[in-house]
């Protein structure tokens, strides 16, 4: 039997939240002005979150409040005080932890994860593979049995046409050049350096 799918939409501010509700989203996730990873976004203040909870409950919708930064021990009491008014307004605050097994299935039914949050830092290839495993698990959970394929013809590598070369080491910008912006801290590669880096792979430059 196929499961009910929840249409979850992000909202960066209160106007976007109302737009998501009016567009038919079943649930909206948003961040407050504390303990969220999007520290420089136009986040919700406490009063806006309380208003959003009232609107969501009126229309039978859900709100997910992101508290997704690493907390230090002295901050634990503070985060409880921060969440208290939302809990009193009806925001569920189930305590516990999410734990994933090797397949990416979490210890809550219908939830799956993959990539660094399960295995720790890994290669991009492993992250993509973990995403496919999670997609297959979700597909199965929803009652489908789609075949997830790559649909890309990968040429056979030629092991005798490579010139040995090292990794391109990117230089870092001086602190004075990056302190007032959010641009990358490293200089980008030149065309020649990018080609050299791609040539270290057996297939990337074919």
For 3-44, write each residue's pLDDT tens digit: 677 888 989 899 999 999 999 999 999 988 888 776 666 789
| Residues 6+ positions from 123 with CB-CB distance below 8 Å | none
- Residue % of the chain over a pLDDT of 90: 17
Q: Give the model's confidence band at 2: pLDDT under 50 very low, under 70 low, under 90 confident, else very high.
A: low
Residue 162 has pLDDT above 70, yes or no: no
Instruction: Concatenate the DSSP letters of all residues of 35-96 into one string.
Output: S-S-TTS--B-HHHHHHHHHHHHHTT-EEEEE--SPPPGGGHHHHHHHHHHHHHTT------
Taking the C-alpha atoms of residue 85 and residue 87, their distance in angstroms, rounded to an integer, is 5
Question: Burial, 48: exposed, middle or buried (Cβ in 10 Å; 0-12, 13-18, 19+)?
Answer: middle
Per-residue confidence (pLDDT) for residue 80, from 0 to 100: 82
Query: Whose CA is closest to 45, among 55, 30, 25?
Result: 30
Q: What is the mean pLDDT of residues 103-131?
A: 74
Per-residue confidence (pLDDT) for residue 205, from 0 to 100: 46
Per-residue confidence (pLDDT) for residue 202, from 0 to 100: 53
Query: Whose CA is closest to 35, among 46, 26, 19?
Result: 46
Q: Which of 4-8, 72-76, 167-171 has the lowest mean pLDDT?
A: 72-76
3-state SS, residue 185: coil
Q: Give the model's confidence band at 90: pLDDT under 50 very low, under 70 low, under 90 confident, else very high.
A: confident
29: left (phi over 0), alpha (psi -120 to 50) or beta: beta
Query: pTM for the full model?
Result: 0.51
- Are 95 and 67 contacting, i.e. CB atoms less than 8 angstroms apart? no
């Amino acid at each position: 039997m196929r499961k009910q799918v929840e249409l979850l939409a992000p909202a960066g501010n209160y106007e976007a939240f109302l737009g998501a509700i009016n567009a038919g989203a079943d649930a909206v996730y948003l961040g407050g002005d504390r303990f969220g990873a999007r520290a420089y976004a136009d986040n919700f203040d406490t009063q806006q979150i309380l208003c959003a909870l009232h609107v969501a409950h009126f229309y039978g919708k859900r709100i997910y409040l992101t508290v997704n930064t690493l907390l230090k021990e002295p901050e634990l009491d503070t985060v409880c005080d921060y969440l208290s008014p939302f809990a009193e307004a009806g925001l569920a605050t189930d305590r516990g932890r999410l734990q994933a097994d090797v397949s990416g299935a979490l210890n809550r039914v219908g939830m799956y994860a993959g990539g660094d949050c399960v295995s720790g830092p890994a290669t991009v290839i492993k992250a993509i593979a973990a995403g496919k495993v999670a997609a297959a698990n979700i597909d199965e959970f929803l009652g489908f049995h789609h075949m997830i394929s790559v649909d890309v013809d990968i040429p056979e590598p030629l092991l005798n046409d490579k010139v040995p070369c090292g990794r391109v080491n990117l230089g870092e910008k001086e602190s004075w050049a990056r302190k007032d912006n959010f641009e990358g801290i490293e200089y980008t590669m030149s065309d020649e350096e990018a080609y050299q880096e791609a040539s270290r792979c057996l297939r990337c430059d074919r």
